[in-house]
Structure 1
Amino acid sequence: MRKKPSGIRKWMLAALAGAALLGGAQAWAATESGEASKRKDVVQVGDAVCTRCHDEGEAKPILSIGKTPHGTMADKKAGTCTSCHGASPTHINKPSDVTERPEPGINFGKSSSTPIAERNQACLNCHQGGARMHWQSGPHAAADMECASCHRIHSQEDPVRDRATQPEVCFSCHKEQRALVNRQSHHPIKEGTVICADCHNPHGSAGPKLMARDSVVQTCYTCHMEKRGPFIRTHQPVTEDCTICHNPHGSNIDNLLKSRPPFLCQQCHEPSTHQGNIASTTFPANTTNNNTLARGCLNCHTQIHGTNNPLNVGNERTFRR
Structure 2
Amino acid sequence: MRLCFPFLALVALCWCCSAFAEDSDEEKRAELPAAVLNSIGGVEYTRKGADTCIKCHDESAEYPVFDIFKTKHAVIADSRTPFSGLQCEACHGPGVKAIQFMEQALETGSHVGRVRPGEKRPPIFNFGPKSNESVQAQNGMCLECHEDDAHIAWQGSAHQMAEIACADCHTVHTAHDPSLDKHTQSDVCYNCHQQQRADFLKPSHHPVRFGELGCSDCHAAHGSTSDSMLAKNTLNETCFGCHAEKRGPFLWEHAPVAEDCSLCHEPHGSVHQALLSKRAPLLCRDCHSQEGHPSLANSPGGQPTAMLLGNSCTNCHSQVHGSNHPSGLKMMR
TM above 0.5, yes or no, is yes
The answer to whether residue 59 in structure 2 is matched with residue 52 in structure 1 is no
Q: Which deviations, in whole Å up to 9, do the C-alpha atoms of 1:6-57 show, x marking residues without a partner?
A: xxxxxxxxxxxxxxxxxxxxxxxxxxx9xxxxxxxxxxx9872443242497
* Structure 1 match to 2:302: 284
- With 233-242 and 220-229 compared, the bigger mean Cα shift is at 233-242
The answer to whether residue 309 in structure 2 is matched with residue 309 in structure 1 is no
Counterparts in 2 of 1:138-287, with a 5 A limit? Answer: 138-270=157-289, 272-274=291-293, 282-284=300-302
- With 60-69 and 150-159 compared, the bigger mean Cα shift is at 60-69
SS in 1 for 2:197: helix
The answer to whether residue 75 in structure 2 is matched with residue 67 in structure 1 is no
SS in 1 for 2:309: coil
For residues 282 and 47 of structure 1, what CA distance do their matches in structure 2 show? Answer: 91
TM-superposed CA distance for 1:101, in Å, is 6.7
* Structure 2 match to 1:318: 330
AA at the equivalent of 2:300:
T
Q: Which deviations, in whole Å up to 9, do the C-alpha atoms of 1:258-285 show, x marking residues without a partner?
A: 00111111212346543997xx963428
Greater relative contact order: 1 or 2 (C-alpha under 8 angstroms, separation 6 or more)?
A: 2
AA at the equivalent of 1:84:
C
Q: Which deviations, in whole Å up to 9, do the C-alpha atoms of 1:154-195 show, x marking residues without a partner?
A: 111211111211111111211111111111111111222112
SS in 2 for 1:66: helix
SS in 1 for 2:224: coil
Preserved CA contact (<8 Å) 1:309 1:320 = no
The answer to whether residue 91 in structure 2 is matched with residue 84 in structure 1 is yes
AA at the equivalent of 2:70:
K
Q: Which deviations, in whole Å up to 9, do the C-alpha atoms of 1:69-118 show, x marking residues without a partner?
A: 001100110123233223354234449888777421x2111111101011
SS in 2 for 1:141: helix
Preserved CA contact (<8 Å) 2:127 2:167 = yes
The answer to whether residue 103 in structure 2 is matched with residue 103 in structure 1 is no
- With 118-127 and 231-240 compared, the bigger mean Cα shift is at 231-240
Aligned residue among 316, 321, 330 for 1:300: 316
For residues 206 and 241 of structure 1, what CA distance do their matches in structure 2 show? Answer: 17
TM-score, reference length from structure 1: 0.75
What are the ranges of 5 or more consecutive residues in structure 2 without an aligned counterpart?
1-20, 22-44, 109-119
SS in 2 for 1:119: helix
For residues 89 and 205 of structure 1, what CA distance do their matches in structure 2 show? Answer: 40
For residues 115 and 276 of structure 1, what CA distance do their matches in structure 2 show? Answer: 65
TM-score, reference length from structure 2: 0.72
AA at the equivalent of 1:294:
G
Preserved CA contact (<8 Å) 2:46 2:94 = no
Preserved CA contact (<8 Å) 2:126 2:133 = yes
User: What is the alpha-carbon root mean square deviation over aligned residues?
Assistant: 3.2
What are the ranges of 5 or more consecutive residues in structure 1 without an aligned counterpart?
1-32, 34-44
Preserved CA contact (<8 Å) 1:183 1:251 = yes
Preserved CA contact (<8 Å) 2:49 2:88 = no
- With 267-276 and 210-219 compared, the bigger mean Cα shift is at 267-276
AA at the equivalent of 2:140:
Q
Preserved CA contact (<8 Å) 1:49 1:92 = no
Identity between Structure 1 and Structure 2 (%): 38
Structure 1 pair 308–152 and aligned structure 2 pair: CA distance change class (3 A): same
Structure 1 pair 47–154 and aligned structure 2 pair: CA distance change class (3 A): farther
For residues 307 and 297 of structure 1, what CA distance do their matches in structure 2 show? Answer: 16
Structure 1 pair 49–121 and aligned structure 2 pair: CA distance change class (3 A): same
For residues 57 and 114 of structure 1, what CA distance do their matches in structure 2 show? Answer: 20
AA at the equivalent of 1:284:
G
Aligned residue among 136, 143, 148 for 1:129: 148
Structure 1 pair 118–183 and aligned structure 2 pair: CA distance change class (3 A): same
AA at the equivalent of 2:205:
H
For this pair of structures, how many residues does the alignment match? 270
TM-superposed CA distance for 1:62, in Å, is 1.9
* Structure 2 match to 1:27: none
AA at the equivalent of 2:80:
K
Structure 1 pair 147–162 and aligned structure 2 pair: CA distance change class (3 A): same
